[in-house]
Amino acid sequence: MTPSQSRWLDLADDALGGALLSRTDARSVLTAPDDALLELLAAAYRVRRHHWGNRVRLHFLCNAQSGLCPEDCHYCSQSSVSTAEIDRYPLLAREKILEAAGRAAALKAGTFCLVISGRSPGERVFGKVLDAVREIRARYDLKVCACLGLLDAGQAQRLAEAGVETVNHNLNTSERHHASVCSTHTFADRRATVEHVKAAGIKTCSGGIIGMGESDDDIYDLAVSLRELDVRSVPVNFLIPIAGTPFANRHALDPRRCLRVLCLYRFVLPSQEIRIAGGREVHLRSLQPLGLYPANSIFIGDYLTTQGQTAQADYAMIRDAGFVLETPDGAPFDGDPLAGAPPSYPRAPLPMPVVPPGVPSGPPSGISPGVPVG
Average pLDDT value for the chain: 91
- The catalytic site residues sit at 69, 73, 76, 113, 145, 205, 275
Question: Contact at 8 Å (CB) between 205 and 235?
Answer: yes
Reported as a pLDDT band with limits 50, 70 and 90, residue 362 is: very low
Residue 359: its pLDDT value, please? 53
Domains, the chain, with CATH or none: 17-325 (3.20.20.70)
Question: Contact at 8 Å (CB) between 90 and 128?
Answer: no
Reported as a pLDDT band with limits 50, 70 and 90, residue 87 is: confident
Residue 157: its pLDDT value, please? 98
How far, in Å, CA of 323 to CA of 253, rounded? Answer: 26
DSSP category for residue 70: -
Q: Sort 35 into a burial class: Cβ within 10 Å, 0-12 / 13-18 / 19+.
A: exposed
How does pLDDT run across 158-204, given as a tens digit for each residue? 999 999 999 999 999 999 999 999 999 999 999 999 999 999 999 99
Count of all residues that appear for the chain in the document: 374
Question: Contact at 8 Å (CB) between 323 and 56?
Answer: yes
Residue 345 has pLDDT above 90, yes or no: no
What's the predicted TM-score (pTM) here? 0.92
Residue 355: its pLDDT value, please? 63
Residue 95: its pLDDT value, please? 96
Residue 370 has pLDDT above 70, yes or no: no
How far, in Å, CA of 78 to CA of 70, rounded? Answer: 9
How does pLDDT run across 197-252, given as a tens digit for each residue? 999 999 999 999 999 999 999 999 999 999 999 999 999 999 999 899 999 989 88
Instruction: Calculate mean pLDDT across residues 346-364.
Output: 62
How far, in Å, CA of 151 to CA of 193, rounded? Answer: 5
How far, in Å, CA of 91 to CA of 94, rounded? Answer: 9
Residue 346 has pLDDT above 90, yes or no: no
For residue 284, which phi and psi values (nearest 5 degrees)?
-80, -30
How far, in Å, CA of 58 to CA of 109, rounded? Answer: 5
Residue 353 has pLDDT above 80, yes or no: no
Instruction: Calculate mean pLDDT across residues 262-267.
Output: 98
How does pLDDT run across 19-48, given as a tens digit for each residue? 999 999 999 999 999 999 999 999 999 999
Residue in 29, 87, 106, 82 with CA at minimum distance from that of residue 304: 87
Residue 347: its pLDDT value, please? 78
User: Residue ranges of the alpha helices (H) in the chain?
Assistant: 3-16, 23-30, 37-52, 94-106, 123-139, 153-162, 187-199, 216-228, 255-268, 311-320
CA 198 to chain centre: 18
How far, in Å, CA of 188 to CA of 197, rounded? Answer: 14
Q: Sort 329 into a burial class: Cβ within 10 Å, 0-12 / 13-18 / 19+.
A: exposed
How does pLDDT run across 277-306, given as a tens digit for each residue? 999 999 999 999 999 999 999 999 888 888
* CB neighbour list of residue 208: distance below 8 Å, 6 or more residues apart: 170, 171, 172, 173, 219, 222, 226, 236, 237
Residue 356: its pLDDT value, please? 61
